[in-house]
Amino acid sequence: MFKLIRRVISLALAVVVIIPTYALFVTWNSAKNPTFRSTAEVIVVPGAAQLNGVPGEVLLARLIEAKRIKDAGYAPLIITVGAGAPGDRTTEAAAGKYWLTQNGVAKNRVISIPVGRDTFSQTQAYIKEMKSRKLYNVIIATDAYHCQRTITMAKDLGATATCSPASTGPNTLAKSRYRYLIREAGAYLAYITLGRRGIHISDHLTNSKLVRYVYDPVA
């Protein structure tokens, strides 16, 4: 009986302490120590909020990073991905493509996929497009704490994925609050425990909500 109780307590500790700590560590480590290949076939910009075709500050930071690494020769093609909210006149993907083409990237070097309001559905959409073009190696330009989850999802769907964290905007490591780390670690944990079993929890936040979530002082 005593051994059974010990096993139950050990299992409870693993669930309550060890597993969440692991999720926090890998999310933090991926953000703190990003690695990406010297060359890839495509750069992906996950969608974030836009307003009438103008990228919000989170999306803009991701686009700036994507353009920077494309200009540096890391990949020849950029994919922007993301649907629009109800009532929007355009999409996150279209806003991203427009910004890139207005800032020196050739139109035939940008693919816009107006699909997905959360990370997993966007990942499914761009991986499907990549496979149709026989492309498998991707660099994801996104927020630092978003890297681990986006890489994991892309790899699970068959891509070779690395991440280049945005170095500007509100969600750099220097500006992010620990609340964003905790949110991303929780979302990563939800994905590896539930998402891989077909139970997907949407992580969609508007740009304003994401920035507010990161910056508001803890009550």
Residue-wise pLDDT for 133-181, tens only, equals 999 999 999 999 999 999 999 999 999 999 999 999 999 999 988 899 9
Q: What is the mean pLDDT of the chain?
A: 88
**Three-state secondary structure readout of 38-75:** CCCCEEEECCCCEECCEECHHHHHHHHHHHHHHHCCCC
82 or 213, which is more confident: 82
pLDDT at 8 over 60: yes
Entry pTM: 0.86
Residues 36 and 72: beta-carbon distance below 8 Å: no
Q: State both tokens at 130.
A: 């990549």
Distance (Å, whole) CA 140 – CA 157: 14
pLDDT band at 54 (very low <50, low <70, confident <90, very high): very high
How does pLDDT run across 25-41, given as a tens digit for each residue? 999 999 999 887 778 99
Residue 197 buriedness (CB in 10 A; 0-12 / 13-18 / 19+):
exposed
The reported pLDDT for the residue numbered 107 is: 97
How does pLDDT run across 188-218, given as a tens digit for each residue? 999 999 999 888 877 765 444 433 333 333 2
Q: By three-state DSSP, how is residue 112 classified? A: strand
Distance (Å, whole) CA 187 – CA 70: 29
The reported pLDDT for the residue numbered 176 is: 87
Q: State both tokens at 210.
A: 């994401």
Q: By three-state DSSP, how is residue 137 classified? A: strand
pLDDT band at 13 (very low <50, low <70, confident <90, very high): low
How many angstroms separate the Cα of 150 from the Cα of each of 6, 13, 100, 210, 218?
37, 28, 21, 17, 27
170 or 4, which is more confident: 170
The reported pLDDT for the residue numbered 212 is: 33
Share of the chain above pLDDT 70, in %: 87
Alpha-carbon dihedral angle through residues 195, 201, 207, 208, given to the nearest 10 degrees: -140
DSSP state of 217: P
The reported pLDDT for the residue numbered 130 is: 98
Q: State both tokens at 2.
A: 């005593």
| Nearest one of 90, 91, 93, 89 to 79, comparing CA atoms | 93
What DSSP letter does each residue of 158-213 carry, written as one string?
A: T-EEEEEE-SSSTTSTTT--HHHHHHHHHHHHHHHHTGGGT--------HHHHHHH
How does pLDDT run across 88-144, given as a tens digit for each residue? 899 999 999 999 999 999 999 999 999 999 999 999 999 999 999 999 999 999 999
The reported pLDDT for the residue numbered 78 is: 98
The reported pLDDT for the residue numbered 4 is: 66
